[in-house]
Amino acid sequence: MNLRDIHTPVFLDRCVELLAPALERDSAVLVDATEGMGGHSEALLERFANVHLIGLDRDTDALRIAGERLAPFGDRVALVHTVYDGIADAVASTGRDRADGILFDLGVSSLQLDEADRGFAYAQDAPLDMRMDQTAGTTAADILATYGEGDLRRIFERYGEEKLAGRYARAILQARLTQPITRSGQLVDILIAATPAAVQRERSGHPAKRVFQALRIEVNGELAALERALPAALDLLPVGGRIVVLSYQSLEDRLVKRAFADAVASTAPAGLPVELPEHAPRFRLLVRGAEQASDDEKARNPRATPVRLRALERIREAA
């Protein structure tokens, strides 16, 4: 299997460019908080011969593949099985207390989407699993079997921003009276049947898209983990250290935007005539707003279409 043929890392050149000033230091430490199949890490290890990588992933299959891909780099690579909110402990487990460069490539990975039996894709009939870490946790089928109408509606609204959340929740409860909903094909059929014909004509996306996103986020606790991971990651950066985050849906990007806005804000009390040094921002933005992929990159790699890139550099130690 040639990973370069099946997996094109998103925003690869831009990530290298943004992280370069932080990774050109002697014995620089790079944390890839979402290792996946190792595409970004491989490029950065090839470019910066002094870099030591700490790669995190909750998916044991991804870690196995990344380990094979990154084997030529020997002891420059340490892979850790953990969710990204365990970033501080993962770094400490390697005997280090800092990370010069940090990369988050959020969302579901190419590996998870392309393996039909993981149940992430509504276009393929498969068991409704959706766990990024298949060694533990609740599956999507478990949620569909046990959540009440109110809880289903809540996650569809909150994590899928689905306008038909209530309608879909009621349809699921009605359907599970007849038989358990254990496969993605079953769920897709239920959602299509519950979607008014006029809505199906008006919508550009598949009726199941937002519900599948919501279930995946609920199964994996993605937003809660991200909310914990971002401040922990920022605390690991020394002056001159940089972080790049790639988000693929608006809920993730809002969390990143908020965390970055807090990081670059002055902490001076309102009305203070002069900003004291201890109140100065600790970070600066490396890009204005959120960068999107170019038309050329979207054409080469359709999975880059929804991506939003944000990046920071630490400019001052914590007070």
CA proximity to 19, closest of 286, 307, 303: 286
Residue 183's identity, in one-letter code, is: R
Q: What is the DSSP letter of 269?
A: P
Residue ranges of the binding site for S-adenosyl-L-methionine: 38-40, 57, 84, 105, 112
Rg (CA), the chain: 21
Contact, 188 vs 175, CB < 8 A? Answer: no
Residue ranges of the binding site: 38-40, 57, 84, 105, 112
C-alpha dihedral (45, 249, 297, 300), degrees to nearest 10: 90
Stated as kind and residue range, the H or E segment containing 264 is: helix 250-264
- Cα distance between residue 112 and residue 132, in whole Å: 7
Stated as kind and residue range, the H or E segment containing 255 is: helix 250-264
- With H, G, I as helix, E, B as strand and everything else as coil, classify residue 278: helix
- Cα distance between residue 76 and residue 49, in whole Å: 9
- Cα distance between residue 178 and residue 54, in whole Å: 48
Runs of H (alpha helix) within 79-146: 87-93, 110-114, 140-146
